[in-house]
Amino acid sequence: MRIDTHRVGAVTVLEPQGALIQDDADVFRSQLDEAMLSSMGRLLIDVTHVPFADSKGLEALADAGAQLTESGQALKLSGANETLRTALELTEIDDRFDHYQDVNAAVRSFL
């Protein structure tokens, strides 16, 4: 799995490429933890290229969402496909994230 990290203005954007499963989910969690420390609450995960996530991938997202919520911030997701959205809804963790159609809309939400 490749995970690109870049900034759009003051927003840190993580862009995983591939399914969030097993060992890849652990790598993602590690990079997500680093990004949370340096993003000052302006963190976006662009999941456009994530076809699905298993329980480890969903857990990584849920934990990050809960951690940011506790500090008065929100984890924002953009580009979630129907499969990933359904998984988030079925596991009842979709409300831990602000959802956006694309990166631009999500970045604007920080203003």
Query: Is the confidence at residue 37, as pLDDT, over 90?
Result: no
How confident is residue 35, by pLDDT bands cut at 50, 70 and 90? Answer: very high
| pLDDT (mean) for 58-70 | 91
Query: Is the confidence at residue 62, as pLDDT, over 90?
Result: yes
- Average pLDDT of the chain, as a whole number: 93
Residue 46 C-alpha from the chain's centroid? 6
pLDDT digits (tens, 9 = 90+) for 89-99: 999 999 889 99
The token duo for 62 is 């849920």
| pLDDT (mean) for 71-86 | 93
- In order, the DSSP letters of the chain are -EEEEEEETTEEEEEEES-B-HHHHHHHHHHHHHHHHHSTT-EEEE-TT---B-HHHHHHHHHHHHHHHHTT--EEEE---HHHHHHHHHTT-GGGEEEESSHHHHHHTT-
Contacts of 37 (CB under 8 A, 6+ apart): none
Position 111 scores a pLDDT of 85
Query: Which backbone phi and psi does 91 adopt, to 5 degrees?
Result: -90, 0
What is the domain partition of the chain in residue ranges? 2-108
CATH 1.10.3720.10 fits 2-108, yes or no: no
